[in-house]
Amino acid sequence: MKEKKAITQSFEELRREIARRQFIEFAKYVYPKYIADKFHYAIADALTAIARNKFDHKGLMIFCPPQHGKSHLVSRLFPVFYLCLNPDSPIILSSYAAAHAQRLGGAARLFMQSQQRKQLFPNIDVNREKRGAEQWQLIPPYEGFMLSAGVGGPITGSGAMIGIIDDPFKNWEEAQSENNRDKVWDWYQSTFLTRLWENAKVILVMTRWHKDDIAGRIIKQERDDWLIMKFPWIKYDDSLRRRHNIICGLEPDYEEPIEREIGEILAPGRFSKNELQDRRSKISSTIWAALYDQAPSDPEGDKIKRSYFLILDQLPKDANGNTVRFDAIVRYWDPAGSTKKSSKFTAGVLMARYRDRYYILDVCRGKWDTFDRNSNMLRTAIFDREQYGSVWQIWEEEGGSSGKDATFMYKQLFQGFRCKPDRPTGSKDVRLEPFLGALENGKVFLLKGQWNDAYIDEMVSISDVRDQKDATAGAFNKLQRVFRPKGWH
């Protein structure tokens, strides 16, 4: 019995000693529920080298899909490991919002205070008088601390030896704005880097939302100074791998730092292949490429193929042979009031949703003066009510007083109809992206009509004429909320 107990104690001592030396073992010891796939070991090896001052690069970039454990490893657990080995070297952590950065910093503090961590480094602890989520410090005589701040905001206090940037952009839409990208870049150069000490290391962990994001700009200027670890959700063949590398600004022959067979997913301990393929079927290829392939592409009109548009001779039937009753229906208008050749068309797209499928039932489009435009819009609203019941009539409202004046006029025009203005945010390409996801995945259908050809021509075109695209995006995005047809039989 004593011998068995001695063996158990020896094994536990060995576990602790390994955990003090290797970050991945430290992570599993401090957080026993942590699921480590192969790529986590590769990331942890690089982070171990940083913590042990054996990292020869200026910085480390890590690109991998969402919910794959990158933030948990890099931003919650690594700061604890680093401070245990380097208790006099501070850390700065930044993320897209100060509140999110502080949540990460607060989680790191809890790990530092945990009993498992104290079993490994008993002489190090959090200073009880300085343990806020924004900044917490170690007990004297150590001078190390962790400061959490939002990207774009101020970083107060002294400098640091480690600078972590975890997802500088909140989402794909935010990263599509050149103004937002410039702000992040200016903050990185003027605020973040100026807080780092000589020989400090930068760790950038993110999803590649855009080719011109902060990672893309650093790669253009300092590629050789950084270790880059790019992990797509699945192992692609050499041809596609090279293509993605070029998109990312990397050399074509770049190889990910783990061994995988073609078709092998990145994190089998977290997701099944079927689950990821199901997710892929629900979003557009542009967003998927950024999120899961780490190969961002610009949203371009020429990626919309004619073959995506499926035309129906009649509306779908239910099991009894009756025309289905739509879950939601809306006519969305992108209006214009000038007849000048340089002006855009007025377009109104009638779209309905039934379960997870979308039906474009009609498109009204023309270049009219104000009187004819209003007459056609009212005539179309009457048609919609006769065919499908009380359909919502929604129009895009421009900013400023002119938009409010137009809304007043449309409310007068659509008296007796359900109607409302819409003021969308974000760029036009960003607003169209959710519709493209459904279109690419065969979930959008067009009811056969004379308008089909002109509609498809514009949708596949890369010209500046996009009134039908904008109305389509507006209708689709509104259908994510319920606009039920009333009285349709």
Q: Which domains does the chain have, with CATH numbers?
A: 1-293 (3.40.50.300), 306-482 (3.30.420.280)
Q: Phi, psi (5° rounding) for residue 130?
A: -140, 75
Element holding 354 (H helix, E strand): strand 346-354
- What is the pLDDT, as a whole number, of residue 3? 58
Asked whether the beta carbons of 191 and 48 are under 8 A apart, the reply is no
What six digits make up the tokens of 299? 């949203």
What six digits make up the tokens of 159? 């400098």
Which residues on adjacent β-strands are paired with residue 60? 203, 227
**How far is residue 482's CA from residue 475's CA, in Å, rounded to a whole number?**
11
- What is the pLDDT, as a whole number, of residue 341? 45
Provide the terminal-to-terminal Cα distance of the chain, rounded to the nearest Å: 81
Picking from 441, 396, 485, the residue whose alpha carbon sits closest to that of residue 284 is: 441
- What is the pLDDT, as a whole number, of residue 463? 66
Give the amino acid at 218.
Answer: I
- What is the pLDDT, as a whole number, of residue 485? 55
Angle between helices 78-85 and 98-113 (to 10 degrees): 60
The 8-class DSSP code of residue 188 comes to I
**How far is residue 293's CA from residue 208's CA, in Å, rounded to a whole number?**
9
**How far is residue 235's CA from residue 227's CA, in Å, rounded to a whole number?**
20
Which residues on adjacent β-strands are paired with residue 366? 346
**How far is residue 430's CA from residue 444's CA, in Å, rounded to a whole number?**
18
- What is the pLDDT, as a whole number, of residue 301? 43
Beta strands in 195-327, from DSSP E residues, in sequence order: 196-206, 226-230, 310-312
**How far is residue 164's CA from residue 231's CA, in Å, rounded to a whole number?**
19
Q: Is 415 helix (H, G, I), strand (E, B) or coil?
A: coil
Which residues on adjacent β-strands are paired with residue 206? 63
pLDDT in tens, 139-159: 999 999 999 999 998 897 779
Which residue is associated with the tokens 């039932």?
361
- Phi-psi map region of 294: left, alpha, beta (phi>0 left; psi -120 to 50 alpha): left
What average pLDDT values come out for the chain (489 residues) when binned by 10 residues? Answer: 62 93 97 94 98 97 94 97 98 96 96 97 95 93 96 88 96 88 96 96 95 94 96 92 87 93 94 92 84 78 76 90 92 78 79 94 94 95 94 90 87 95 87 89 93 90 81 94 53
